[in-house]
């Protein structure tokens, strides 16, 4: 049969949503009070779910998202099972607390952490019974723990008592005992009255019992510790919880039950912490890098497997450690497993006492996880601080929640876990806990006033087993707390996009390739900036604005820093020397095209015209010619420069600028064009003549073609052109300007005074 803890990776995100959906239908926490918004049905859930390893563009996701995608609560569940089931209850100062530390340390070592087991103490003497079965499948796990009475025998580990179990009700009279009690382990109802308990044990011993269990017959009780008025030095006597009572009775109903019992007294034992440290890349000796720490407590209360309280915290810590160990980091990562939390935060206090002032000053924060995923419906995820105030650790968890679409996190006031020890020495810390916490009634607010809470029924009980673990809620804790820790463990990089004019560019999509393909980091905000987190690596950054690409290549990301990309939005410049605009060349003369393009930022990509720079300019045809240079830069900006040059005949005038003539006569206008260019050298509509004032030369009428009076014509001979201009006799006594415009665009004038 498949247990509810099987948690297929593929369905993980789906399961988170499903788990929340279940939460939503039942959500009933108090309304918004004291500045703490309600965690009602509308706001307790994941509203956005990410799927797959790549974003919509096909590029890799940013590191925040990538890391959260890698967290898998199935791994946390595995660690919780090792602690709560394989090891079982881990009372402070017992070998099981140390085994828990060793397990956690072994896992951290396998992730490359330097691991230290820290012994501290001594602590108060512990008297415990370990109850197992050689053949029965014990409910709640194979390792039961009860309270060993100090008035009875401590067997030690080598003299276990093993035998069948009989039930003898209250054990107050011989009739309560089965006939075959001798040689058996006797279960009886625990009484709150000392004399009743004493009588029961005395009676059992006289019946030949080899061990006595007094277990709460009803309710939901932890194993009781008690002494006896009549000491029983020959057999072990122990107190069991009501769950033990129920479980044993149920097993007995099915058939014979054999239990194996050892009782031990650990006199003023030492407690154990496990600390895993992963040094920052740039600070292998651990003297300067910021420290990001997560913590959980290893120990559980007597009798409780402590699956939720607090194997769950370690399960999440270890999964955070696993995923983060895959990245080179410039922050020092510390994973704390503290013993003796249930004894009064003893291990965490011992740990913070070992920190020097310089070390404390390096702490970014401590994210304490204690009870991070019970299926108990009314529980919600809380960030609780000793003073009820938010702090960096809390705020970062809110931010991480926002990144995964979880808006169910709330902040209020509570100590009662290891975060208090860090708070007390000035290290920002918070307790993350799935708890039915009720904030103070308005007008009281969280901070000055704390709330009240109701724990799940399994809390501090033998029933705090794997059934008290919700993989879905563990996953939310991983995403929120683990997401915050990862965000703080990576380098904070401010990527800005500015135009080459220095203007911030909003909405610029930023991509980074840090060696394994392009990665979408998001888009810049209104200030042209984007906050991203990156491991210790080297990345090429790219952004594209208006089709213009900017790069910042080979940026070595070591520590928190800024990366600036300047987007070249300026066109390349073109300087055109030859031909200059309006330049005039004589037909057939040699001229060399000369131009260049410049682009200070991205650099020139292309710079071209019909004639390459340095090649001959075309002067083989008269008239006006356009010359265009096209340039592009490597950012994609384009520019062009267009000029016009003129190619003209080698002109020679064989007529004066002014002359006298007789109206009605033919005036020869002679000129040279450097040879015979044919007779089609005059521009259409030309020559023209126009009346002008003889004194000033100012036009007095409109220009008219010389064809008007008739018979004007062009001829060529002896290396010269001769245009015979027939004047009009009616023009007598006037002055006229004659304009000869050629098909090379040039005009030539003479003014004639007509008699």
- Name which of 258 and 416 has its Cβ closer to ligand BES: 416
Among 342, 396, 633, 744, binds ligand BES (CB under 6 A): 342
Neighbouring C-alpha atoms within 13 Å toward the C-beta of 12: 20
Tell me which of 422, 453, 585, 738 binds ligand BES, using CB under 6 A: 453
Spatial separation of the C-alpha atoms in residues 246 and 670, rounded to whole Å: 134
| 298-337: contacts with Zn ion (CB under 5 A) | 309-310
* Residues of span 488-547 touching ligand BES by CB under 6 A: none
If DSSP codes are grouped into helix, strand and coil, which group holds residue 685? Answer: coil
Candidate list 370, 479, 552, 599; residue touching ligand BES; CB under 6 A = 370
Binding partner of residue 345 among Zn ion, ligand BES, none, CB cut-off 5 to 8 Å per kind: ligand BES
Q: Find which of ligand BES, Zn ion, none residue 414 binds, CB within 5 to 8 Å per kind.
A: ligand BES
Q: To the nearest whole angstrom, how small is the minimum distance from the Cβ of residue 218 to ligand BES? A: 23
- Cβ–Cβ under 8 Å, residues 331 and 258: no
When binding is defined by CB under 6 A, the residue of 60, 296, 304, 414 that contacts ligand BES is 414
Options 371, 466, 514, 673; binder of ligand BES; rule CB under 6 A: 371
Question: CB under 6 A: which stretch of 260-268, 336-344, 401-409, 613-621 binds ligand BES?
Answer: 336-344
262 or 455: CB nearest ligand BES: 455
Torsion of CA 575, 580, 586, 591, to 10 degrees: -10
Q: CA-CA distance, 209 to 226, in Å (whole number)?
A: 19
Minimum distance, C-beta of residue 230 to ligand BES, in the bound complex (Å): 33
Q: Which of residues 612-641 bind ligand BES (CB under 6 A)?
A: none
Q: Whole-angstrom Cα distance, residue 316 to residue 294?
A: 9
Q: Are residues 370 and 329 in contact, defined by beta-carbon separation less than 8 angstroms? A: no
Rg (CA), the chain: 47
Question: Of 114-143, which residues contact ligand BES (CB under 6 A)?
Answer: none
Of the pair 241, 579, the CB lying nearest Zn ion is at 241
Which region among 129-137, 182-190, 339-347, 673-681 touches ligand BES (by CB under 6 A)? Answer: 339-347
Site string for ligand BES, 292-321 (x = CB under 6 A): -----------------xx-----------
Q: Which is nearer to Zn ion, 212 or 435 (CB)?
A: 435
Please choose which of ligand BES, Zn ion, none residue 416 contacts, taking the beta carbon within 5 to 8 angstroms, the exact cut-off set by kind. Answer: ligand BES
For residue 614, the partner it binds in ligand BES, Zn ion, none, with Cβ less than 5 to 8 A by kind, is none
Binding to ligand BES by residue 91, rule CB under 6 A? no
Nearest-CB residue for ligand BES: 416
Query: How far apart (Å, rounded) are the C-alpha atoms in residues 146 and 236?
Result: 11
Neighbour count for residue 674 (Cβ, 10 Å): 13
Say how far apart CA 370 and CA 295 lie, in whole Å: 8
Q: Which is nearer to Zn ion, 370 or 456 (CB)?
A: 370
User: Are 223 and 239 contacting, i.e. CB atoms less than 8 angstroms apart?
Assistant: yes
- Asked if 416 interacts with ligand BES (CB under 6 A), we say yes
- Judged by CB, which is closer to ligand BES: 247, or 382? 382
- Residue 435 contacts which entry, Zn ion, ligand BES, none (Cβ below 5-8 A, type-dependent): ligand BES
**Residue 435 touches ligand BES, criterion: CB under 6 A:** yes
Spell out the residues 6+ positions from residue 280 whose beta carbon is closer than 8 angstroms to its own. Answer: 286, 289, 290, 329, 330, 331, 332, 536
**Cβ atoms < 10 Å from Cβ of 443:** 8
Give least dist CB 13 to Zn ion, A.
Answer: 28
- Could you say which of 145, 199, 417, 477 contacts ligand BES (CB under 6 A)? 417
Residue 67-106 contact track with Zn ion, rule CB under 5 A, x = bound: ----------------------------------------
Smallest separation (angstroms) from Zn ion to the CB of 306: 8
The stretch among 342-350, 588-596, 619-627, 644-652 that binds ligand BES (CB under 6 A) is 342-350
Q: Please, what sign has the CA dihedral across residues 53, 57, 60, 63?
A: negative
Which of residues 310 and 599 has its CB atom nearest to Zn ion in the complex?
A: 310
Between CA 640 and CA 615 the distance in angstroms is 19
**Token pair 């008699």: residue:** 755
DSSP strands (E only) in 350-490: 363-369, 380-385, 410-413, 429-438, 452-454
Smallest CA-to-CA distance from 208 within 180, 235, 176, 182 is with 182
Residue 111: CB partners within 8 Å, gap ≥ 6?
276, 278, 321, 322, 325
Of the residues 455, 475, 524, 727, which one makes contact with ligand BES according to CB under 6 A: 455
Q: Measured from the CB atom, is 66 or 310 closer to Zn ion?
A: 310
Q: How far is the CB of 360 from ligand BES (least distance, A)?
A: 21
With 0-12 / 13-18 / 19 or more C-beta atoms within 10 angstroms meaning exposed / middle / buried, residue 718 is exposed
Report, in Å, the least distance between residue 84 CB and Zn ion. 13
Element (H, E) at 556: strand 548-557
Any long-range contacts for 552-560 (C-beta under 8 Å, 24+ apart)?
557/491, 557/493, 557/514, 558/281, 558/282, 558/330, 558/491, 559/282, 559/330, 559/491, 560/491, 560/492, 560/493
Pairing assessment for the beta strands 658-661 and 380-385 based on DSSP bridges: unpaired
Q: Interface with Zn ion by CB under 5 A: which range of 44-52, 90-98, 168-176, 362-370?
A: 362-370
* Six-digit token string for 427: 């290290």
449 binds, among Zn ion, ligand BES, none (CB under 5 to 8 A by kind): none
Q: Which is nearer to ligand BES, 259 or 435 (CB)?
A: 435
Q: Is residue 421 close enough to count as binding ligand BES by CB under 6 A?
A: no
From the list ligand BES, Zn ion, none, pick the one residue 379 interacts with, judged by a Cβ distance below 5 to 8 Å according to partner type: none
Q: Which of 344, 507, 582, 701 binds ligand BES (CB under 6 A)?
A: 344
Closest approach of Zn ion to the CB of residue 371, in Å: 6
CB 165 within 8 A of CB 185: yes
CB nearer to ligand BES: pick between 465 and 632: 465
Which partner, Zn ion, ligand BES, none, binds residue 611 by CB below 5 to 8 Å per kind? Answer: none
Per-residue burial over 513-522, b if 16 or more Cβ lie within 10 Å, else e, is bbeeebbbbb
Question: Looking only at residues 368 through 407 of this chain, which bind Zn ion when binding is defined by CB under 5 A?
Answer: 370
Tell me the CA distances in angstroms from 409 to 50, 190, 432, 452, 533, one per residue in order.
19, 41, 9, 17, 22
Measure the CA–CA gap between 666 and 591, rounded to whole angstroms: 41
Size of the site for Zn ion (CB under 5 A): 3
Residues 46-65 that bind ligand BES (CB under 6 A): none
Contacted entry of Zn ion, ligand BES, none for residue 273, CB cut-off 5 to 8 Å set by kind: none
Q: State which residue, 417 or 750, has the beta carbon closest to ligand BES.
A: 417
d(CA 263, CA 237): 9
Q: Residue 617's CB: how many other CB atoms inside 10 A?
A: 22
Q: How many residues bind ligand BES (CB under 6 A)?
A: 15
According to DSSP, the residues that pair with 11 across neighbouring strands are none
Residues that bind Zn ion (CB under 5 A): 309-310, 370
Residues that bind ligand BES (CB under 6 A): 309-310, 341-342, 344-345, 370-371, 414, 416-417, 433, 435, 453, 455
């Amino acid at each position: 049969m498949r247990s509810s803890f099987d948690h297929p990776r593929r369905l993980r995100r789906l399961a988170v949503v499903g788990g929340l959906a279940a939460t939503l239908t039942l959500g009933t926490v108090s309304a918004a009070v004291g500045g703490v918004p309600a965690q009602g049905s509308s706001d307790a859930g994941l509203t956005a779910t990410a799927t797959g390893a790549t974003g919509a563009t096909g590029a890799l996701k940013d590191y925040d998202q990538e890391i959260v995608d890698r967290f898998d609560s199935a791994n946390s569940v595995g660690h919780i099972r090792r602690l709560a089931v394989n090891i079982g209850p881990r009372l402070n100062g017992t070998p099981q607390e140390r085994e828990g530390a060793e397990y956690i340390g072994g896992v951290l070592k396998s992730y490359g952490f330097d691991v230290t087991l820290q012994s501290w103490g001594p602590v108060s003497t512990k008297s415990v019974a370990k109850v197992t079965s050689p053949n029965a499948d014990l409910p709640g796990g194979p390792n039961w723990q009860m309270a060993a009475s100090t008035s009875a025998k401590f067997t030690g580990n080598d003299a276990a008592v093993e035998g069948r179990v009989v039930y003898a009700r209250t054990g107050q009279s011989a009739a309560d005992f089965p006939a075959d009690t001798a040689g058996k382990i006797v279960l009886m109802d625990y009484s709150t009255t000392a004399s009743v308990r004493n009588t029961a044990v005395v009676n059992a011993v006289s019946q030949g019992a080899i061990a006595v269990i007094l277990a709460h017959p009803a309710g939901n009780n932890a194993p009781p510790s008690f002494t006896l008025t009549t000491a029983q030095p020959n057999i072990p006597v122990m107190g069991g919880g009501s769950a033990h009572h129920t479980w044993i009775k149920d097993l007995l109903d099915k058939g014979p039950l054999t239990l194996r019992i050892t009782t031990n007294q650990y006199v003023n034992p030492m407690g154990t912490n496990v600390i895993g440290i992963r040094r920052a890349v740039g600070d292998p000796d651990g003297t300067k890098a910021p420290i990001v720490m997560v913590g959980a407590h290893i120990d559980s209360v007597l009798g409780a497997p402590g699956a939720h309280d607090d194997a769950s915290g370690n399960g999440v810590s270890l999964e955070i450690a696993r995923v983060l160990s895959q990245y080179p980091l410039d922050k020092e990562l510390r994973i704390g497993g503290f013993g003796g939390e249930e004894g009064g935060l003893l291990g965490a206090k011992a740990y913070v006492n070992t920190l020097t002032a310089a070390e404390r000053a390096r702490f970014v924060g401590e994210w304490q996880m204690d009870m991070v995923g019970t299926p108990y419906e009314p529980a919600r995820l809380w960030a609780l601080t000793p003073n009820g105030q938010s702090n960096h650790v809390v705020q970062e968890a809110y931010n991480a929640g926002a990144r995964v679409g979880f808006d169910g996190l709330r902040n209020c006031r509570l100590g009662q876990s290891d975060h208090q020890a860090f708070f007390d020495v000035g290290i920002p810390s918070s307790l993350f806990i799935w708890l039915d916490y009720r904030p103070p009634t308005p007008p009281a607010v969280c901070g000055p006033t704390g709330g009240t809470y109701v724990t799940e029924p399994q809390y501090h009980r033998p029933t705090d087993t794997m059934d008290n673990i919700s993989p879905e809620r563990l996953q939310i804790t991983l995403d929120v707390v683990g997401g915050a820790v990862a965000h703080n463990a990576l380098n904070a990089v401010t990527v800005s996009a500015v135009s080459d004019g220095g203007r911030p560019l909003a909405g610029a999509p930023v991509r980074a390739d840090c060696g394994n393909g392009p990665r979408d980091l998001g888009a810049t905000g209104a200030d042209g900036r984007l906050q991203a987190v990156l491991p210790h690596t080297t990345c090429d950054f790219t952004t594209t604005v208006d089709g213009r690409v900017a790069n910042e290549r080979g940026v070595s990301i070591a520590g928190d820093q800024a990366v600036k990309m300047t987007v070249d939005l300026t066109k390349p410049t073109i300087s055109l020397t030859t031909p200059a605009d309006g330049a005039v060349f004589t037909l057939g003369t040699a001229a060399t095209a000369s131009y260049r393009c410049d682009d200070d930022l991205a650099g020139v990509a292309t710079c071209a015209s019909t004639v390459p720079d340095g090649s001959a300019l075309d002067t083989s045809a008269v008239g006006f010619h356009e010359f265009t240079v096209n340039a592009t830069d490597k950012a994609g900006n384009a520019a062009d420069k267009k000029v016009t040059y003129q190619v003209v005949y080698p002109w020679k005038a064989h007529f004066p600028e002014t002359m006298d003539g007789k109206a009605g006569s033919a005036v020869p206008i002679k000129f040279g064009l450097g040879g015979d260019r044919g007779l089609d050298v005059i521009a259409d509509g030309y020559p023209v003549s126009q009346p002008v004032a003889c004194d000033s030369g100012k036009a007095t009428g409109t220009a008219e073609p010389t064809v008007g009076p008739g018979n004007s014509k062009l001829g060529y001979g002896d290396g010269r052109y001769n245009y015979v201009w027939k004047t009009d006799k009616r023009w007598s006594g006037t002055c006229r300007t004659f304009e000869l415009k050629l098909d090379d665009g040039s005009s030539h004038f003479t003014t004639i005074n007509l008699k």
